[in-house]
Amino acid sequence: MPEVVVTFYGHIRDVAPQGKMELGLPAGSTVADLLQRLVAELGEPFRERAFDEYGQLLPSLKVIVAGEVVEELEQVLGGEGAQVAVVVVPPVIGG
C-alpha cells in the first residue's frame, strides 16, 4: 500500500488541514484514484476548487508526483510500501 503525502498550495490549501494530508492507498492506485479519495475526504470545497462542472480536473491545477508534473491521471502512484510525495498547485499569478 503506497503511503501518499499530499501537500496543497494556494487557494486549494484552505480545504486541507494544515495544508497537508497523509493517505494510504491500495497498490496500483493512480493519480485519478488519489483525486477521488481527496474529494471523498475533503468534500465539496475541494471538488469546487479542483474540478469543473463536468468533473474534469481544472487545467490550471497541477499535480506533481515525485517532482514531475502529471500529464496522465492514470499514472500509477507507487508500488507496495512506496512513499509518494504529491503536490497540488494552482497557477501562480504575480508581477
Please list, in sequence order, all residues whose beta carbon lies within 8 angstroms of the beta carbon of residue 51, skipping any fewer than 6 positions away: 39, 57, 58
CB atoms near residue 10 (< 10 Å)? 15
Q: Per residue in 2-58, pLDDT tens?
A: 688 899 988 888 888 889 998 988 888 999 999 999 999 999 999 999 999 999 999
